Copies of this chain bind each other. A is one copy, B any other.
Amino acid sequence: MHITGHMIIGQSTVLGTAGVVHAINPAQNAVMTPDFGLATVAEVERACALAEAAFDTYRETTLEQRALFLEAIATNILDIGSALIERATQETGLPVARLEGERGRTVGQLRLFAKVVRDGRWMTATLDSALPERAPPRPDLRLRKIALGPVAVFGASNFPLAFSVAGGDTASALAAGCPVIVKAHSAHLGTSELVGKAIQKAVADCGMPEGVFSMLIGDGRQIGQSLVSHPAIKAVGFTGSRQGGLALVRTAAQRHEPIPVYAEMSSINPVFLLPQALAANAATLAQGFVDSLTLGAGQFCTNPGLVIALDGPHLQQFMDAASTALKAKAASTMLTPGIHKAYNAGVDSLSKIAGVTLLAQGLTSDGGCAAQAALAVCDGATFLTTPALQDENFGPSSLIIRCSDEAQMQRLAGFVEGQLTITVHAVAADRALAAKLLPTLERKAGRILFNGFPTGVEVAHAMVHGGPFPSTSDSRSTSVGASAIDRFTRPVCYQAMPADLLPAALKDENPFHLARIVDGELVMPK
């Protein structure tokens, strides 16, 4: 498929006229063809008007129609073939195998949401019978969840497929019945265009109203802010920096009608090494940790940026083994020159903080935007008095905290900011300490994992990729997994509604075969 630099506005392709931007090959630090045209406010208006016009039709497509549409997007993405992987690897520096895996994840995600749509549990269909004999009489009441409205999606730099144009936010919003307008991420413009066209084709193939999907190209924040300010937009999905996420939160709050923003922002993903686990497995833990830290040049939201353990010989053994492993790690290309520069500045700042010692660094490289991994250490008191040590440095850098005792470890657990994940390494003999830490960890993170490492986020029904501020702007939700759909819905109650006007999910005959809550009890479909 030919990449042209056009935006996608419904069924049209439009070359933006507000300027030109280019994709960058970060391995070569080189500009790529073609020119991508930047959107004017007119394109934002047009995309929003189409989305608004499509909304009522789209949200009332049947569950089966919407599921087929999501599956058609998945098929169309696969149909792009190797051209997609080639372009993505050029634009991001990510290896082919990783991108093939990510494509599988993206397609799997779309298919999971097809299942979620068909299952229909997301509507939480609820029926309370009329009680005409009661004084006062109770009317017939029925509740379903409906789509919020058109959603603006801001893809991530680090997942050009799975958290981008057809990624988790788009899939879950489309599943809920919301039209989607994506702002393409500048880190992978050509990849975005290819995927955007796959969605555009699915819209046509499935006979959906054209406004169901548009994709804009914008420079800096202006187009994004225009989009989030637009009255037609009713929710926002974002994955990126804290600064970027908070800017969208502010814009959304200042609207005449404030709207929810689901921003997945920053997390340093503490890893607690409990004493007996550390004593038993210091070297193995060190290798697993360094592998997780350096995976994908450390460019994961769930990268383990903090290790918390009791000081002593076993921690020393861990640090020695981790240092050795890290020093052997090759530098790998980061996604963009900007990310690479920020990462180096972050390591530099970290090493200059009083009380922090740089323990080891990975191999260097002459090539483009390659990141040298870094591992530092400080004591608990330093961490507790230095807020800057909680700042995420996006990339393969981590900080080990030597705790003086269990009480300090507990204090640290209470001191860390909200996180996407917290990991606990514990053997049976650590169970009492783990149990003591657990209530604090539950308050701090969306996912608590045992004896593993946080990178690798399953797309599953029980996944939570979310967590308390600042890891996200809304801890009540997840951006990965089946329940991501809940972000884009709101409940509506129908009182004494004539049977012929009732939505299908709530009709007596239950045409969607939903499990429903009837007079307070869960009733399985016949």
Give Cα A477 to B493, complex, Å: 11
Q: Distance in Å from the Cβ of A228 to the closest Cβ of chain B?
A: 15
- Contact between chains at B446 and A493 (CB < 8 Å): yes
Q: Distance in Å from the Cβ of A207 to the closest Cβ of chain B?
A: 19
Q: Distance in Å from the Cβ of A101 to the closest Cβ of chain B?
A: 9
Taking CB atoms, residues of chain B closer than 8 Å to A431 are: 498, 500-501
A489-B476, A496-B452 as given contacts; A458 in contact with B139, CB under 8 Å: yes
- Asked whether any CB of chain B lies closer than 8 Å to the CB of A466, the reply is yes
- Asked whether any CB of chain B lies closer than 8 Å to the CB of A450, the reply is yes
Interface residues of A in 483-508 (CB under 8 A from B): 483, 489-498, 500-501
Complex copy number for this chain:
2
Q: Please give the number of chain A residues whose Cβ is less than 8 angstroms from any Cβ of chain B in the complex.
A: 78
Binding site for B on A (CB under 8 A): 56, 60, 115, 119, 121, 124, 126-128, 136, 138-139, 141-143, 146, 148-149, 249, 253, 257-258, 260, 418, 426, 431, 434-435, 438-440, 442-443, 445-452, 456, 458, 460-464, 466, 468-470, 473-478, 482-483, 489-498, 500-501, 515, 517, 519-520, 522, 524
- Contact between chains at B128 and A460 (CB < 8 Å): yes
Closest residue of chain B to A448 (Cβ to Cβ) is B494
- Contact pick for A138, options B119, B138, B460, CB 8 Å: B460
Taking CB atoms, residues of chain B closer than 8 Å to A522 are: 121, 515, 524
A56-B439, A496-B450, A524-B524 as given contacts; A434 in contact with B491, CB under 8 Å: no
Q: List 6 A-B contacts (CB under 8 A).
A: A56-B440, A115-B520, A126-B462, A141-B460, A426-B498, A447-B492
The 3 A-B residue pairs whose C-beta atoms are closest, nearest first, are A449-B495, A464-B493, A143-B462
- Contact between chains at A497 and B462 (CB < 8 Å): no
- Contact between chains at B495 and A450 (CB < 8 Å): yes
- Contact between chains at B491 and A466 (CB < 8 Å): yes
Q: Distance in Å from the Cβ of A329 to the closest Cβ of chain B?
A: 20
- Contact between chains at B492 and A448 (CB < 8 Å): yes
